[in-house]
Structure 1
Amino acid sequence: MMSNLFSVFDPSTNIFNFSLNWLSTILGIFFLPIYFWLIPNRYTFFWNFILNKLHNEFKILLKNSNGSTFIFISLFSFVLFNNFLGIFPYIFTSTSHLTMTLSISLSFWLAFMIFGWLKNSQHMFSHLIPQGTPPILMPFMVLIETISNIIRPGTLAVRLTANMIAGHLLMTLLGNTGPSMPNYLIMFLIFTQILLLILESAVAIIQSYVIAILSTLYSSETN
Structure 2
Amino acid sequence: MTNLFSTFDPTTSIMSLSLNWLSTSLGLLILPISFWFLPSRTLMMWNTITLTLHKEFKTILGPSSHQGSTFLFIALFSFILFNNFMGLFPYVFTSSSHLTFTLTLALPLWLAFMLYGWLNHTQHMLAHLVPTGTPGPLMPFMVCIETISNMIRPGTLAVRLMANMVAGHLLLTLLGSTGPTLSYTMLSLLMVGQIMLLMLESAVAVIQSYVFAVLTTLYSSEVT
For normalisation by structure 2, the TM-score amounts to 0.97
The 8 Å contact of residues 25 and 82 in structure 1, kept in 2 or not, is answered as: yes
Whole-Å Cα distance in 2 between the matches of residues 113 and 155 of structure 1?
16
- CA drift at 1:3: 4.6
The aligned counterpart of 2:21 is: 22
Q: Could you report, residue by residue, the CA deviation over 1:63-109 in whole angstroms, capped at 9, with x for unpaired residues?
A: 21410000000000000000011100011000000010011100110
CA distance in 2, matches of 1:150, 1:38: 46
User: What RMSD, in angstroms, separates the aligned Cα atoms of the two structures?
Assistant: 1.0
Amino acid in the other structure paired with 1:57: E
Summarize the alignment of residues 1-80 of structure 1 with structure 2, pairs less than 5 Å apart. Answer: 3-63=2-62, 64-80=65-81
Query: 1:34 & 1:42 partners in 2: Cα distance?
Result: 14
Structure 1 174/158 Cα, relative in aligned 2: closer, same or farther at 3 Å? Answer: same
Alignment of 1:121-200 (within 5 A): 121-200=122-201
Percent of residue pairs identical: 64
- TM score, norm. by length of structure 1: 0.97
Deviations 1:124-166 (A, max 9, x none): 1111000111111000000000000000000000000000000
Specify whether residues 37 and 65 from structure 1 end up closer, same or farther in structure 2 by C-alpha distance, changes over 3 A only.
farther
Q: Distance in 2 between matches of 1:24 and 1:7?
A: 18
In structure 2, the partner of 1:118 is: 119
Where does the alignment leave 5 or more consecutive residues of structure 1 unmatched?
none
Q: Give the number of aligned pairs.
A: 222
Classify 1:214/1:3 alpha carbon distance in 2 versus 1 (closer, same or farther; 3 Å): closer
The Cα of 1:36 is off from its aligned counterpart by 2.2
In structure 1, what is the Cα distance between the partners aligned to 2:120 and 2:191? 56
Distance in 2 (alpha carbons) for counterparts of 1:3 and 1:52: 44
CA distance, structure 2, for counterparts of residue 163 and residue 32 of structure 1: 26
Q: Distance in 2 between matches of 1:109 and 1:3?
A: 33
Amino acid at match of 2:97: S
Code of the residue aligned with 2:122 in structure 1: it is S
Give the CA deviation at 1:183: 2.0
Q: Is the 8 A contact 1:59 1:65 kept in 2?
A: no
The letter for the 1-side match of 2:72 is I
Residues 1:19 and 1:185: Cα distance change in structure 2 (over 3 Å)? same
